[in-house]
Amino acid sequence: MHIDGRTRLAGVIGWPVEHSLSPAMHNAAYQVLGLNWAYLPLPVPDLDALFAVVEAIRALPFVGFNVTMPYKQAMLELCDETATLAEMAGAVNTVQCSEGRLIGYNTDGRGLLEALQTGAGFDPAGRSVAVIGAGGAAGAAVTAFILAKAARLAIVNRDVARAECLADRVADYLHGTSVSVYPLEDAGEAVRVADLVVNATSVGMRPEDPSPIPTAWLRQGQLVLDMVYRVASTALMRDAEQSGARAMNGLGLLVAQGALAIDIWAARDSGQSRAPRDVMRAAAEAAVADATGSNGGELE
């Protein structure tokens, strides 16, 4: 990577971010695209620091930045303008910097659809989907499946009030999708009949985490996607495979949402588009291999 006085900046805001795969895959993409950009991890420990960092970015040569846990929902209020998908999801994960203005997007939902198509050949149109969770990642997933014309959508969460808020937020955009809300303890049948089950919670990020749902709720013929990408196989994925379902982790989603962010930034900044997904995937996998090797086999 060559850095000089014309280098533009990008990065990922979150806490923690020391294990993020985004710098590796973004910087690999910039090199292939011939962009004089550098992507940095930006650790932000609390909301006060978030406000300060975001204000500083307005004055620095940033093309944009990504936002990860726990700030995707807070970032929605800090942007000068937000895309409809971000409003529907209730979260921003990608920000375009334009002459001091911050324009918020959510590429998680579109990235999820891309990952499902690329990794499993799955089209949600006319299908039944169960989403576990009601936070920013779940909001992006729900939004994506509505736009993809899923027939039935179940939102499952321990705090049913949060799930109901998510359902209310997307109610005006359904266009034929049936949305139901379930507390976790009552969701067995809704999950069992789903063609696709998506874990959009943080359960599974640690190797010792249990599955967010009972094994008995899974069945042969389902597709199960766990958004977690820091471990190669989560408890949910193992349970799915034992039940005869296909299982995917979140690495494909990570690559796709990051590539879509580059597509947004490059199209506006240099007229380029279509980030190299294959290059980004290879860089992310190499970073996973390095991390698992140094941690004795598991990526934390």
Question: Catalytic amino acids?
Answer: 72
Beta strand pairing status for 101-105 and 94-98?
A: antiparallel
Closest CA to 55 of 13, 89, 8: 13
Neighbours of 163 (CB within 10 A): 26
Q: How far apart are CA 115 and CA 80, in angstroms?
A: 29
CA distances from 108 to 69, 113, 191, 203, 254 (A): 13, 9, 22, 18, 8
Neighbours of 155 (CB within 10 A): 28
